[in-house]
Each structure stands twice: as C-alpha cells, then as structure tokens.
Amino acid sequence: MSTHIAAAPGEIAETVLLPGDPLRAEWIAKTYLDDVTCYTQVRNMLGFTGTYRGRRISVQGTGMGQPSISIYVHELLAEYGAKTLVRVGSCGGLLADVAIRDLVIGISAATDSSINALAFDGFHYAPAADFSLVRAYVEKAEAAGARYHVGQLFSTDSFYHARPELRDRLTEYGVMAVEMEAAALYTLAAKFGARAMAVCTVSDNLVTGEETSADERERTFAQMVELALDAVAA
C-alpha cells in the first residue's frame, strides 16, 4: 500500500485511465472491463483493475486539481510501476468552434499553477503529451468519425477564477480548453519516464455559453473512454 492507494504490489496494471471523478472510474470499470477488482477505496478515491480485450487495464480516480492528481500519479509511477497514463476528463471550450460534446486531446498544457514555477525555478517548463499516445488516439477518433481537436489545454488551479478576463488572452493565443490536471500529469510522467495523454470531453463553452446536460455528458464520456481503451489496447 502507498500513502493514498490501498493496492498491494502487482494489483495495478501498467496502463491506467485517470478520470477526475471516482464514480466515473467505477462506471468505466463496470461498463468496459472484465474480471474487475476494486484495489482501493481510500478517501473514496476508487481504483479498479480488470481486462479490456484481454489486456490488463486499471482505472484510478484522481480528484480535482493538480495537487490531487499529483498525489495519485506520483504513487502510481513511483510505487506501482505505471507506464502509460491517460486522463479521461471534462473541460470548458475556450474557442468558439470547440463545441460541447467535442473531444479535446491535449498535446500540451499551459497552467497558472505555481507547482512547476517552484520546481523549475525561473524556467517555464512546457508540459507535453506523449506523441505515440496522441497518434494512436487520433487514429481511433478518425476511424470512429468523432469530432475532436488536438491542441493546447489550460490546467487551472481555480475553477472559479479571481480574474476570469485573463481567459480572453488564452483564447487569443488559440488555447483550446480549460481543465485542471493535465499539466501536472504530463510533468510527472516526464519525470518518471512514462507516457501520458489527456483527452477531455467539452462539457461547456466559456465563449458561447453552451452547456451539456448531465445525460449528454455521460453519453459523450462513453465515446471518449471507448476511444481511449481502443488506443491503449492497440
């Protein structure tokens, strides 16, 4: 057991899907995986291992924000030997054509967090996704005829930002969507020599004001997750 994950050594697969919501982790495991076991319930941040088309896959909830995902991803990498990490999240579109229900694949992630500012002390590190994962996901999205975008995410520390007008600058520079975890995921994966990617379903658009209903979100999460499973199982 690590500090925040109750799994025994070997109970977590090398490939892990990472939804923010632990109930989404449970839904993914129960909907898509065979021979599922729940390996952790610490703080209700559920984690499951099963098989998808014969391949071992785990699904671990991460919570919201970079401090939370950093704890789970650090322990997965440092203590459980995870090698491939795919965040399956939700995001808010920052460009008018990044419409609700679309998928955004984060090739990189800007951030307002001080975590990397402290770690890199004067350098501005650019957290980036693993290209082989991005390519595999794009191939599956193309084949499925999914509506998707590949571009930069913005990983914010503040869902309710004190200076929301700053988002206009991100839109001006073509940043596609805001979420809260990808920058930390990419940075930690790089530190430990692992592969990582974040894909998010657009749940709302901050430019147009469009929003999805809870029902719609669930249906689009299904496509995002199916493509992620197909990409990592390929």
Ligand X SMILES: O=P(O)(O)O[C@H]1O[C@H](CO)[C@@H](O)[C@H]1O
Give the C-alpha distances (Å, rounded to integers) separating 199 from 19, 58, 106, 129, 163.
10, 17, 6, 10, 26
Which residue out of 21, 102, 121, 204 is catalytically annotated?
204
Give the C-alpha distances (Å, rounded to integers) separating 101 from 98, 178, 197.
9, 14, 19
Of 33-41, 43-51, 102-110, 173-181, the segment contacting ligand X by CB under 6 A is 173-181
The pair phi, psi for residue 208, each rounded to 5°, is -90, -15
Residues 146-165 contacting ligand URA, CB under 6 A:
159
Instruction: Decide whether 15 or 66 has the Cβ nearer to ligand URA.
Output: 66
Residue 102 found at the interface with ligand X (CB under 6 A): no
Measured between its terminal Cα atoms, the distance across the chain in Å is 30
Residue 159 found at the interface with ligand X (CB under 6 A): yes
204 is an active site residue: yes
Rounded Cα distance between 221 and 200, Å, is 8
Residue 20 found at the interface with ligand X (CB under 6 A): yes
93 binds, among ligand URA, ligand X, none (CB under 5 to 8 A by kind): none
Residues 78-97 contacting ligand URA, CB under 6 A:
90-92
The pair phi, psi for residue 71, each rounded to 5°, is -65, -50
Instruction: Decide whether 12 or 228 has the Cβ nearer to ligand URA.
Output: 228
Rounded Cα distance between 207 and 146, Å, is 22
Instruction: Decide if 86 contacts 129 (C-beta within 8 A).
Output: no
Q: How far is the CB of 91 from ligand URA (least distance, A)?
A: 5
Residue 110 found at the interface with ligand URA (CB under 6 A): no
Residue 178 found at the interface with ligand URA (CB under 6 A): yes
Provide the H-helix boundaries in the chain: 22-32, 66-79, 115-120, 131-144, 167-172, 182-192, 214-233
Residue 77 found at the interface with ligand URA (CB under 6 A): no
Q: How far is the CB of 17 from ligand URA (least distance, A)?
A: 18
The amino acid sitting at 163 is: R
Residues contributing to the site for ligand X (CB under 6 A): 19-21, 64, 89-90, 159, 179-181
Give catalytic residue positions. 204
Residues contributing to the site for ligand URA (CB under 6 A): 90-92, 159, 178-180, 203-204, 206
